[in-house]
Structure 1
Amino acid sequence: MAFIHDVLQEPSYGWKNADGQLSKPTPKQLFSEFFTRLNIFKDKKNWLSFMSWAMVLCLAPFLFLFLFKYFSIKGLIIAFVYSMMVMGTHGTIWYHRYCTHGAFKFRNNFWRFVTQNLTLKIIPEEIYAISHHVHHALSDTPGDPYNAQGGFLYCFLADANHQPVNRNLEEKGFNRCITLMKHTGVTCNTYAQYKKWGSIANPFHMILGVIVNWAFWFTVFYLLGGIGIACALFGAAGFWAVGVRTFNYEGHGKGEDKRREGVDHNRKDMSINQLWPGIVAGEWHNNHHLYPKSARSGFKPHQVDSAWYYIKFMHFIGAVSHYHDSKKQFYKDYIKAAPAVLSAEPVFCPTTGKQIFATEVI
């Protein structure tokens, strides 16, 4: 547990207050921490947090170009589907179920590379994966990097304020981070490079990967639909990148207990199943917290799980060699046989030849 508590860079306002409860910073404190951690001129070790938000800013002009110059209903529909469903589902497949939880394995590195780059690359794997391990270990308690009880801004600004890796890890802790990241294919720093750059990911390879990814997809979008569709889809990706930062605040009841009996079976934290994230991205969050290593979280018949359909298809064609599926375990543990309805009317018992009520013991 010491590693889980220390692996992330603690914010200036701390994880806990003097009473050992969650430290709830003011908006001023949150924004001060945010801009401090984006300042690459003061400290180059801020490069990864800066890059994460710089990509969002770079995508904003594409959104404005689409809205004010190339707008069309067709482009709007395509942009909506791409941001809500394609980007959302890819986030669940790649960052959530694979990079963090290793819920499935690829046959080889080719298929891993294809899946990694199915959409525009916006979120650095390091920022998401390592902090998400902490989120599950410390969910809704001090140290959870996006604890909904801290408020909306606490979660929204978490990728800069709470999710970066601790820059002062001993080599043993650094190697544990490498272990958490090596299956993702991200090129990692040596320990000496980590001390220089403050990150697990190598900056040169990370930035080059984004440039190549964006160039490829802009070319594809342009060839498919011209500059208007390219701007629509790049702008939609930026819109998703902002919106996804609100998910854990919503997915944990906005800091309140909004769990429903018979719907949210996990009672160890405040995670809830929500219809919209489930339908568009396969993110049934309470189910996921029950079985985080499952490649499927849509266990019930109505729980559409587009991420699972992709993983299952990839397994069918041989691109995925192995996956975990906890659906049977979920039904065994949480879905009990419905109790028989007892009748208030007397019934005939063939054993005794008498009329009895259903509540009586024969």
Structure 2
Amino acid sequence: MSWASVGFFAAVHGVALLAPWFFSWSALGMAIAFHWLFGSVGICLGYHRLLSHRSFKVPQWLEYIIATIGALAMQGGPTFWVAGHRQHHAFTEHTEKDPYSSARGFWWSHMQWMFYLKPEVFDRRVYAQYAPDIARDRYYAFLDRYFLVLQVPLAFALYAVGGWSFVIYGVFVRAVLLWHCTWLINSANHLWGYRNFESDDNSRNLWWVALLTYGEGWHNNHHAFPKMAKSGLRPWEIDTTWWLIKGLQSAGLATKVVMPPVKARVLS
């Protein structure tokens, strides 16, 4: 077990628990806005659908902006995130090869996997082989190294605008809430919910996770067709991240958008 990792996550959670003593409606609103910006734009659209699966293409300058927003989510650099996710799809629920295998229990897949620094998951020299397209990019290598440092100028800017309440809500409360929302896809979505497709795993669709993760909770759909840019397929499967992609496409900024195959489109 890496006690440094345990200490880091415990410290961030601990500071977030100070939130009631620094509450303000403006700080809470800003935390919610950052949850959407870093979560939907940075992680769901950027790290996941754009970088991990190449579900669509945007100009390089815009890809870098979106990836930087993803790095601000404090979920690791792009090479780490993409490599881990690609391992998850390649070896879904394998107890050793899937970094956050749900076969090892809810808490392992939710967060415990980050407390044991296996080289294939946490050593860049090893995991980079699963994301060579990301690892060889110099700007992404910069984000891999300094993603945590990005929180420092963010915290200074928040302090200048709203004092300590903005720092605690904008950095710590936001990080904790977004962490657990993202981790629910690894844990809850492989245990509960319904299935539209008989994929070779236990991935499931879970409406309340989809609401918390801007459409990522339609996880069975995603595992059945990982490269499609749209996760929600049935009329009630709301996918707000897909709305962003459609907006970029309408503006001429998103191209080569991978649409659901025919056997998936019949659900709608």
Question: Counterparts of 1:93 and 1:131 in 2: how far apart (Å)?
Answer: 16
Question: Counterparts of 1:129 and 1:300 in 2: how far apart (Å)?
Answer: 27
Question: Counterparts of 1:136 and 1:300 in 2: how far apart (Å)?
Answer: 23
Question: C-alpha displacement at 1:312, in angstroms?
Answer: 1.9
How do residues 222-241 of structure 1 correspond to structure 2 at under 5 angstroms? Answer: 222=159, 224-240=161-177
Partner of 1:79: 31
SS in 2 for 1:323: coil
Answer yes or no: is 1:139 the counterpart of 2:92.
yes
Question: C-alpha displacement at 1:174, in angstroms?
Answer: 6.1
Pick from 213, 222, 229 the counterpart of residue 295 of structure 1.
229
Stretch moving more, 213-222 or 280-289 = 213-222
Query: 1:134 touches 1:145 (CA, 8 Å); kept in 2?
Result: yes
Question: Counterparts of 1:102 and 1:320 in 2: how far apart (Å)?
Answer: 11
The structure having more radius of gyration, on CA atoms, is 1
Answer yes or no: is 1:252 the counterpart of 2:190.
yes
Answer yes or no: is 1:208 the counterpart of 2:146.
yes
User: Cα deviations across residues 211-265 of structure 1 (Å, max 9, x unaligned)?
Assistant: 2x32443344345544422321212233135413343111101xxxx553xx532
Answer yes or no: is 1:91 the counterpart of 2:43.
yes
User: Cα deviations across residues 106-130 of structure 1 (Å, max 9, x unaligned)?
Assistant: 212x211221233624122233211
1:264 maps to amino acid: N
Query: 1:105 touches 1:323 (CA, 8 Å); kept in 2?
Result: yes
Partner of 1:285: 219
Question: Counterparts of 2:232 and 2:87 in 1: how far apart (Å)?
Answer: 23
2:205 maps to amino acid: N
Q: Percent identity?
A: 20
Cα RMSD (Å): 3.3
Partner of 1:269: 201
Give aligned pairs, total.
259
Question: Counterparts of 2:185 and 2:135 in 1: how far apart (Å)?
Answer: 23
Query: 2:79 touches 2:135 (CA, 8 Å); kept in 1?
Result: yes
Q: TM-score, normalised by structure 1?
A: 0.61
Relative to structure 1, the CA distance from residue 107 to residue 273 in structure 2 (aligned partners, 3 Å threshold; closer, same or farther) is same
Structure ranking higher in helix proportion: 2
Question: C-alpha displacement at 1:159, in angstroms?
Answer: 3.3
Partner of 1:352: none
SS in 2 for 1:179: helix
1:221 maps to amino acid: L
Question: C-alpha displacement at 1:278, in angstroms?
Answer: 1.4
Question: C-alpha displacement at 1:287, in angstroms?
Answer: 0.7
Pick from 83, 88, 113 the counterpart of residue 64 of structure 2.
113
Relative to structure 1, the CA distance from residue 178 to residue 331 in structure 2 (aligned partners, 3 Å threshold; closer, same or farther) is closer
1:230 maps to amino acid: V
Question: C-alpha displacement at 1:304, in angstroms?
Answer: 1.4
Unaligned 5+ residue runs, structure 1? 1-33, 40-49, 188-201, 337-362
1:149 maps to amino acid: A
User: Cα deviations across residues 310-330 of structure 1 (Å, max 9, x unaligned)?
Assistant: 222222333323321216551
2:85 maps to amino acid: H
Query: 1:266 touches 1:287 (CA, 8 Å); kept in 2?
Result: no
Question: Counterparts of 1:144 and 1:105 in 2: how far apart (Å)?
Answer: 27
Query: 2:31 touches 2:170 (CA, 8 Å); kept in 1?
Result: yes
Query: 1:265 touches 1:287 (CA, 8 Å); kept in 2?
Result: yes
